[in-house]
Amino acid sequence: MDLGDYSFFQIILFLISALILFLFAIENLSNEIQELAAERFRSIIAKLVKNRFVGTLVGAFSTAAIQSSSAITVLTVVLVNTGIISFRNSLGVIFGSNIGTTITAQLALIQSDAIAPILIILGFVSRFLGKKIKIVSKPIFFLGLILFALNILSSSIEPLRGDPNIMNFFSHLSNPFVAYLVAMLFTMLIHSSSITSGITVILAQGGLIPVEVGIAMILGANIGSSITALLASARLSLYARRAGFANFLFNLLGSVFFMIFLNVFIRVMVFLVDDPAFQVAFAHLLFNLVNTVVFLILLTPFEKLVKSLIKGDEEEILFKTKHIDMTVEKKVAERMEDIRNELAYSVENMIKIFQKSISIFYNDSGVIPMEIQKLETLNDYLDDEISSSILELSKSILSKDVAGQTVTLVKVSNTIEQLGDLGDDFSKVFSKIHSLGVNKEEVDIEKLTTIHNKLIELFRSIEEMIKEPNEKGLLAVKPLEEEIYALIRNEYDIHVHRLEIDAKYDGNIFVDAISIIELSVSKVRDIRKVLLKQVRQETA
């Protein structure tokens, strides 16, 4: 076929148009499914992934639905970063997502001449059939569009099979290792192994590439797809980075192993099926199935390997209660004890916020504010869970004392949540030092640390009273409050005096910090008073 022949350019236009249509359809199908199931997916995944095998199924079916392992792995990394699931529990989802992405290669084998138009028409018509049906109209439409685009791609390459220029182009991919690298780079650029695998199967179906090249491209696409999650995790928490790296390492080790034994793998596929396109498509499925099974069996050593390669001592913060478990039947007294212990855990969490906040003075990396934000969000979550537990408890018949305690504990929980917010504000004061370039000498960090440590001591004192409130202990907390107030008043006086004698002195950062400490002491006082009132009512 002559390059000057109009029909050649017409075919190229068909190919480019079909490819654009394919990319558009997959992206929109992914967006529609994610919009339909985003919140439900988060809820389901948090509950199910504790079992590695169920987590694998969640990853597989989720990826099959939205046709993007990159989207699912990135979402999983984000869920690890926010503490909804643990790093260990994320591994099953990551493994399973690679199985789910193989569906596109199987779709490319479907004779979609009739199916695609039916789905497109059905998706379009269902828009007008009521709200309940309308919500699935777009996913149906875009699935039909994917099949339609694949059909156009398949039809368009048929005339190119005999063209020497085209065959010469693909002859450069005759080396499987070159094909592996090309597919890896292409997948990195488009962020979807589903697209690469679909095109690879069509090329094999059209006779443009041999089966060994097709399978090598499939293996390369798997490693290329893991780069997106790896990059997305780079600036996240330690455990999110480990999840992103685990996805990359899982695909790297698996694909390299299969490339080493490529000839054996090809012989297995030739033995199983005759058609080259089916061999490539099934190779994609078999590779991911075998790879997933092996890594599921070796989950614990693989987890240790990732932790040894991505080192760090950062605490893994998970969004779950430590003591409250609504699924377990317990007596009222036991539930009350669980609630008090959960409140104490919430105080411990809030203490970490204040401790990490002051450390920003010495370390201005973005990691600490990220940890603080997660701890503060966890505090909000714990407040909601404690309130829900108390509400559930209120449905039972309660004694007068216990009923009064439930009201008190709701107030305590809300105040602890507010203290967490103050801790977040405290961290922003120290972040401001670095962002505004404030001279650190203007901030008397030694005095501030002394007052801060007294505040932590106060927090721990009230924590004990939350667990086991008694009048003597609560009255013993008051002198510590007064001691901190006295230290703060003294620092205010010093600040005012320096403003009077030193025109260059600013000191606003220091004042902001101790003002937040003063507000925090006031919140602790509120907790002490409400607990003391409850204790006195019970003993009256």
Q: How far apart are CA 361 and CA 357, in angstroms?
A: 8
Q: How far apart are CA 521 and CA 290, in angstroms?
A: 59
Distance between the two ends of the chain, CA-based, in angstroms? 102
The residue ranking higher by pLDDT, 27 or 451, is: 451
Angle formed by the axes of helices 193-205 and 69-81, to 10°? 160
Q: How far apart are CA 261 and CA 290, in angstroms?
A: 14
Judging by beta carbons within 10 Å of its beta carbon (0-12, 13-18, 19+), is residue 2 exposed, middle or buried?
exposed
Q: How many CA atoms lie within 13 A of 495 on its CB side?
A: 21
Domain check: are 390 and 528 in the same one?
yes
Domain check: are 284 and 392 in the same one?
no
For residue 162, is it within any domain?
Answer: yes
Domain check: are 300 and 351 in the same one?
no
For residue 320, is it within any domain?
Answer: no
For residue 324, is it within any domain?
Answer: no
Q: How many CA atoms lie within 13 A of 174 on its CB side?
A: 5
pLDDT of residue 37: 47
214-252 confidence digits (pLDDT tens): 889 889 988 887 887 787 788 778 898 999 999 999 999
* Angle made by CA atoms 256, 27, 72, in degrees to the nearest 5: 50
290, two tokens: 């075998």
122, two tokens: 């059905």
Domain check: are 40 and 114 in the same one?
yes
Across the range 161-189, mean pLDDT stands at 71
373-425 confidence digits (pLDDT tens): 888 888 888 998 899 898 888 777 788 888 888 999 999 999 999 999 999 99
Domain check: are 261 and 340 in the same one?
no
Lowest mean pLDDT among 48-62, 143-157, 466-480: 143-157
453-477 confidence digits (pLDDT tens): 999 999 999 999 999 999 999 999 9
Find the domain containing 255 and state its range. Answer: 6-309
> For position 521, which CATH number holds?
1.20.58.220
Q: Which range among 45-54, 152-161, 254-263 has the greatest average pLDDT?
A: 254-263
Whose CA is closest to 66, among 76, 79, 51, 54? 76
DSSP 292-313: HHHHHHTHHHHHHHHHHHS---
Q: How far apart are CA 247 and CA 322, in angstroms?
A: 29
- Residues 26 and 194 sit within 8 Å (Cβ to Cβ): yes
Q: How far apart are CA 315 and CA 323, in angstroms?
A: 19
For residue 511, is it within any domain?
Answer: yes
What is the overall mean pLDDT for the chain? 81
Single-letter amino acid, residue 144: G
Using left for φ > 0, alpha for ψ between -120 and 50, and beta otherwise, residue 317 falls in: beta
Work out the percent of the chain whose per-residue pLDDT is above 90: 28
* Angle made by CA atoms 57, 285, 93, in degrees to the nearest 5: 25
For residue 62, is it within any domain?
Answer: yes
Domain check: are 136 and 234 in the same one?
yes
Residue that terminates a domain, selected from 268, 294, 309: 309
Residue that terminates a domain, selected from 259, 278, 309: 309
Domain check: are 233 and 275 in the same one?
yes
Q: How far apart are CA 41 and CA 43, in angstroms?
A: 5
The residue ranking higher by pLDDT, 277 or 46, is: 277
Lowest mean pLDDT among 46-50, 234-238, 490-494: 46-50
What are residue 46's phi and psi, to 5 degrees?
Answer: -65, -35
100-130 confidence digits (pLDDT tens): 777 655 665 555 556 777 778 888 888 777 7
For residue 162, pLDDT beyond 60: no
For residue 321, is it within any domain?
Answer: no
pLDDT of residue 97: 84
DSSP 172-213: TT-SHHHHHHHHHHHHHHHT-HHHHHHHHHHHHHTTSS-HHH
Domain check: are 428 and 361 in the same one?
yes
Polymer length in residues for the chain: 540
DSSP 338-406: HHHHHHHHHHHHHHHHHHHHHHTTT---THHHHHHHHHHHHHHHHHHHHHHHHHHHTTS---HHHHHHH
- Residues 459 and 379 sit within 8 Å (Cβ to Cβ): no
Q: How confident is the model at residue 363 (pLDDT cuts 50, 70, 90)?
A: confident
For residue 319, is it within any domain?
Answer: no
pTM beyond 0.75, yes or no: no
Judging by beta carbons within 10 Å of its beta carbon (0-12, 13-18, 19+), is residue 4 exposed, middle or buried?
exposed
Residue that terminates a domain, selected from 309, 340, 364: 309
pLDDT of residue 422: 94
Domain check: are 92 and 231 in the same one?
yes
Domain check: are 215 and 247 in the same one?
yes
Domain check: are 401 and 273 in the same one?
no
* Angle made by CA atoms 223, 34, 96, in degrees to the nearest 5: 40
Report the number of distinct structural domains present in the chain.
2
pLDDT of residue 188: 78
For residue 169, is it within any domain?
Answer: yes
Across the range 254-274, mean pLDDT stands at 90
Q: How far apart are CA 171 and CA 412, in angstroms?
A: 73
Cβ neighbours of residue 382 under 8 Å, at least 6 residues apart? 321, 342, 345, 346, 349, 413, 417
Domain check: are 534 and 446 in the same one?
yes
